[in-house]
Amino acid sequence: MSSVRRALNLLRVLGDGPRGGMRLKDLAERANCGQSTAHRALQDLVAEGFVERVDDTSRYGLALDVFVLAANAGRAAGLRDLARPCLLRLSSTLSDTIFLLVRHGYDAVCLDRVEGPFPIRTFTGEIGGKVPLGIGQGSLAILAHLGEAEREAVIAFNMPRLLDRGFVDEAALRVALDATVKRGRADLNMGLIPGMAGVAVPVFDAGGRVVAALSVGTLRERLGDERLPIVVDMLKAEAKALSGRINPFDDTLNQPSRSLSNAAAR
């Protein structure tokens, strides 16, 4: 194995390791190389600013330059730009309106949408519109796949807001969340917008963290039992392809308004 490949392998091992860093012995074992070989490669990585000693202990961890490099690599293509071709393909193929939603605190924000030919009404409205997490299929898909503690905090904060919007109750929300996780999709229809229907799937980053949702909004009769599985398969295929390209340091994931401002300035 070349020295470059060995160093890259050590970086991958450190990236998958515990946050508190790893000992040289454990690093060498996971990287399948001798301790002396691992030590030489680590010293080069330390010198270049990609690895550091953790709090002056004998453990090694990833240094700041790794994250700076990753962030710079993703600047050319933020989530909105990456997802735009997905939305266009889905809308063209399905002849329906397609949405990209991201989380912003306790809300879901419509980061982008491509209009279909059928007139529809939605919870988020135009690009930049937002709703409490739990309202609408897209936000439900995001909420359902948050970590347990984070999900519970959102539910506790948002439940009064959901009730104000005409949602049934907390029990109904939890049933819908459980069903969303089991099915890998959200197609809840509580009759909040008569005649409308939708389905959404979560979008994950490389670490398995839910960061967005792809959603179809359409007329109720266009999402019947025969067509629904086909639509879901297409959404999941696009979501999977998109997941592999997402930069976890994309500002959009934490500040969607920044991406919306950049788009408006173009």
Given a contact cutoff of 8 angstroms between Cβ atoms, the answer to whether 158 and 132 are in contact is: yes
Distance CA(188)–CA(172), nearest Å, equals 10
Structure tokens at 223: 């999402």
Average pLDDT rounded to a whole number, residues 194-208? 85
The answer to whether 110 and 129 are in contact (CB under 8 A) is yes
257: tokens are: 């308004």
Percentage of the chain lying above the pLDDT 90 cut: 39
Q: What is the DSSP annotation of 203-218? A: EE-TTS-EEEEEEEEE
Give pLDDT tens digits for 23-67.
Answer: 999 999 988 889 999 999 999 999 888 898 887 778 898 887 776
**Overall average pLDDT of the 149-164 stretch:** 92
Instruction: Assign 204 a pLDDT band (cuts: 50, 70, 90).
Output: very high
Mean pLDDT of the chain: 83
What are the Cα distances from residue 191, in Å, to 19, 83, 188, 222? 45, 29, 9, 16
Q: What is the helix (H) or strand (E) element at residue 238, kind and residue range?
A: helix 228-243
Span 250-261, average pLDDT: 56
How big, in percent rounded to 5, are the helix, strand and coil portions of the chain?
A: 50, 20, 30
When mean pLDDT is compared across 37-51, 63-77, 155-169, 203-217, the lowest value belongs to 63-77
User: Which residues, 6+ apart, have CB-to-CB distance to 89 below 8 Å?
Assistant: 238
Q: What is the mean pLDDT of residues 161-179?
A: 87
**Distance of alpha carbon 104 from alpha carbon 38, whole angstroms:** 41
Work out the pLDDT band at 76, boundaries 50, 70, 90.
Answer: very low
Neighbouring residues of 151: CB distance < 8 A, sequence distance ≥ 6: 143, 144, 177
Q: In what order do the strands lie in the sheet with 59-62?
A: 22-23, 59-62, 51-53
Biggest CA–CA distance in the chain, Å, is 68
Residue in the structure block whose two tokens are 């600013």: 49
pLDDT surpassing 80 at residue 254: no
| pLDDT-above-70 percentage for the chain | 83
Give me the domains of the chain, ranges plus CATH numbers: 3-73 (1.10.10.10), 76-265 (3.30.450.40)
Q: In degrees rounded to 5, what are phi and psi of residue 72?
A: -65, -35
- Tell whether the model's pLDDT for residue 260 goes beyond 80: no
| pLDDT digits 0-9 by tens, 225-249 | 899 999 999 999 999 999 888 866 6
